[in-house]
Amino acid sequence: MEKKSVPSLVKDQQLILKRREQIIKGAVRLFIEKGFHRTTTREIAKESGFSIGTLYEYIGTKEDVLYLVCDAIYEEVTERLKKQLYTSGSAVERLEAAIRAYFTVIDSMQDEVLVMYQETKSLPKETLPYVLKKEEEMAAMMEEMVSACNQEGVFQFTDKEQKLFTHNLLVAGQMWTFRRWAIRKHFTLDEYIALQIKNLLKRE
C-alpha cells in the first residue's frame, strides 16, 4: 500500500512541511475538543492562522488533515525506533532504549496520538489500509527487538507470547496518553517509563 499523495498548490517543499505542521496542530486541538466530524475546514483554517483559501493550497479535504496527523506520528515513531535496531549493546539494552524512545515520542505527540486512535475510523477507505499497515510495521520493528531478547535468553517466549508481549508494550506507551488524566497525578514521564520497563522487562 503506497503512501497517499496529499495535493498541494504550493511547490516549495519546506514551506509545505511548515504549513502542514501548523495545520496538524490546529486541527488536533479542534478534533480533541469537538471531534473530527463536527469540525469544519473553515475552523481548521482559523485555528491554524490561515484563510480558508490558504488552507486549500496545502490540502484537498478535511480527511487529508486526519491522514497527515496519522502519518506524522508513524513517521516520527518509526524513525526513532529504527535508530535502536542497529545500535550497540545487548538485545535487552537496545529494547530498553527503544521503549524509552517510543514512550518519549508518544509524550511529545500525545494530542496527535489521542486523535489518531479516536478518529482512525473516519479515514477514507482508500487510505485506512496504509495507516493500518504503518501500525503493523511499527509493531514489527518492536517485535524484532523482543525477538532478539528471546534469542539471547532474556525471555522464553513462544511465538504467540512474543507477539502478545509486543502489543502489551505498545499499549503501555499509548496508555500514557489515553489515561493521562489519572496517571499524571501520580507519575512523571521518567517515573512512568522506569516503572514500565521494570515491570515489562523485569529490570531493576
pLDDT of residue 85: 72
Residue 83: what pLDDT?
Answer: 79
On whether residue 36 sits in a domain, the answer given is no
Hey, how many other C-beta atoms are within 10 angstroms of the C-beta on 24?
23
Does residue 42 form part of some domain? no
Q: What is the pLDDT of residue 152?
A: 93
The number of distinct structural domains making up the chain is 1
What pLDDT sits at residue 121?
85
Instruction: Quote the cell numbers at residue 35.
Output: 471531534
**Does some domain include residue 192?**
yes
Q: What is the DSSP string of 99-155?
A: HHHHHHHHHHTHHHHHHHHHHGGGS-TTTHHHHHHHHHHHHHHHHHHHHHHHHTTS-
Domain range for 111 is 68-201
Nearest to 36 by CA among 124, 138, 129: 124
Query: For position 185, what pLDDT does the model report?
Result: 94
Supply the pLDDT for residue 82: 81
In terms of Cβ atoms closer than 10 Å to its own Cβ (0-12, 13-18, 19+), residue 9 is exposed
Q: What is the CATH number of the domain that holds 110?
A: 1.10.357.10
Is the residue at 191 inside a domain? yes
Cβ density class 97-118: b for 16+ within 10 Å, e for less:
bbbbbbbbbbbebbbbbbbbee
Has residue 139 been placed in a domain?
A: yes
141 located within any domain: yes
- Give residue 203's pLDDT: 66
Q: Backbone phi, then psi, for 126, in 5-degree steps? A: -80, -20
Q: pLDDT truncated to tens, each residue of the chain (204 aa)?
A: 567 788 888 899 999 999 999 999 999 999 989 999 999 999 999 999 999 999 999 999 999 988 888 888 888 888 888 877 777 789 999 999 999 989 998 998 898 888 888 888 888 888 888 888 888 988 998 999 999 999 999 999 999 999 999 999 999 999 999 999 999 999 999 999 999 999 998 865
23 domain-assigned? no
Kindly state whether residue 151 falls inside one of the protein's structural domains.
Answer: yes
